[in-house]
Amino acid sequence: MKEIIGKIIKSWAATEGNVNTTAEILDWVNRLNREAKVSITECEAGDNSFWFYDDYVGEIHNRKRSFFSITGIQRYENNKLVAEQPIIVQPEIGYLGIICKEIDGVVNFLMQAKIEPGNVNVIQISPTIQATKSNYTRRHGGVLPNYFDYFYNSKRYTVIYDQIQSEQAGRFYKKRNRNIIMLLDEDIEVLPNYKWMTLGQIKQLMKLDNLVNMDTRTVLAGIPLTNCGFSREELAEIEGVFTDKAFFRSIFTGGITANMSVIYQFLNNYKMFEEKKTVLVPLNQLRDWTVDDTGVTCNHEADYMVRYYDIDITGREVRQWSQPLFKAIGKATFGLITRVVDGKKEFLVAGRPEMGSFDFIELGPSVQWEPTRKAEDDNEVDALFRIKVAQGKTSYHVILSEEGGRFYHEQNYNYVVEIEPQELTTLPEGYFWIDYGTLNYMIQINNCLNIQLRNLLSLLEV
């Protein structure tokens, strides 16, 4: 495995590509966008609609009771209701998978130009396969997703990464997907909506607003870099690939940091001792939300609403359908604060409880703000981050989209901010400095790092 990981790291540094140039990839995406025939229109759900609000059970579902449903959820702390909202219930595990292959000595990844109904810009760079269980069991009556057989028969190939990871726990109830990367050494037919790209090219494309989708980012964040047993000579060769030497040392030197036990103690104490619970309830029992034929709307300021859409997209397994989507109101902000201590880069993470979390809490980024988040709620970490962004002192800034299959035009600001060690000498409870090697180790365990943190880690460059 270490030989493969070494080649993937070199692919990370190969920003120009050896199969397709980055300019060719961008031209390809632009051409597909021009040719795409997409119609997404807001509509109402009536008695004859496939998707509708079922007042008897208090949820939105379709007439086959398949795919997913939308119901209410309430959160209680010390037996007091503290939050409520609509939430998506989709109790199945889907595939988010990427095929890679060594081509002329360089590892390339087979990426898809995919249209999702909620995408703000029609086409985004997606994994080789991005399929719900309803897709690959063909409950919608369509064809099998492209390349599905490779993933279904993954034991025949070299599996680099295979883990079940959480989705957005502020929108989904305990939703998880299988994130998998496989290396193939056989010839693969490249279909028209797919292209080979190096990891470095994908990282470059991530710098463009809303181009690389969330599913690609979460899968690539899981590439296992640690515990490969590299020799001193091999590490010296790998270090030559890195421009950011502090990042290299954060990955490969020092082993797993001692504070991982402290982090797990915090997370496990929260899971065991905090007096909290979440309860699924009918939508009509939510006190501050109104349900009608247009969807579900909050009676005060909120981060999203639910709306119904008529959808017509060429090139999909099913071309025409209708469904509800969570429609964003404003943009969220996700930030990762870094520092260099003794020549090694460290990352500031925090325990993040979320309404639909599979196990109450996961590690999240330094900053995780929904659009309605107010500055008066800032702690010292939030306040410092806000100052750095206002001053333009960010090492990375891009607007990226959430999953377009369930969310309509949901985008967020993503920042990486580097500070001096003396700028943040004490931390609020539940915040931890941690090196990348430890974070990468924890990604190999399910339900440790939330999707916001995994997405930010995917942006990092060598």
Whether the per-residue pLDDT at 280 is higher than 90: the answer is yes
398-434 per-residue burial string, b: 16 or more CB within 10 A, e: under 16: bebbbbbbbbbbbbbbbbbbbbeeeebeeeeebbbbb
In whole numbers, what is the pLDDT of the chain averaged over residues? 93
One-letter amino acid at 415 equals: Y
Show the domain range for 436.
Answer: 260-276+330-457
Same domain, 217 and 356: no
In total, how many domains does the chain have?
2
pLDDT at 227: 76
Rounded-to-10 torsion of CA 218, 350, 265, 270: -100
Same domain, 266 and 401: yes
Helix or strand run (H / E) with residue 305: strand 304-313
Q: Which residues pair with 305 in a beta bridge?
A: 327
Distance from chain centroid for Cα 216 = 8
pLDDT at 313: 87
354-403 pLDDT, tens digit per residue, is 999 999 999 999 999 999 999 999 999 999 999 999 999 999 999 999 99
Same domain, 223 and 352: no
116 domain residue, yes or no: yes
Tokens (6 digits) for 278: 């979440």
Same domain, 265 and 134: no
**How many other C-beta atoms can be found within 10 angstroms of the C-beta atom of residue 252?**
22
Same domain, 220 and 175: yes
422 domain residue, yes or no: yes
Same domain, 180 and 268: no
Same domain, 200 and 269: no
pLDDT at 32: 94
Same domain, 221 and 266: no
Same domain, 227 and 264: no
The answer to whether 394 touches 388, Cβ cutoff 8 Å, is: yes
Whether the per-residue pLDDT at 131 is higher than 90: the answer is no
Q: Which of 168, 174, 95 is nearest to 135 (CA)?
A: 95
83 domain residue, yes or no: no
Q: Which residues pair with 20 in a beta bridge?
A: none
**CA–CA distance, 454 with 203 (Å, rounded to integer):** 14
**CA–CA distance, 277 with 167 (Å, rounded to integer):** 19
- Whether pTM > 0.85 for this model: the answer is yes
Q: Which of 331, 339, 301 is nearest to 431 (CA)?
A: 339
Same domain, 162 and 270: no
Same domain, 139 and 265: no
Q: Residue 12: which CATH number?
A: 3.90.79.40
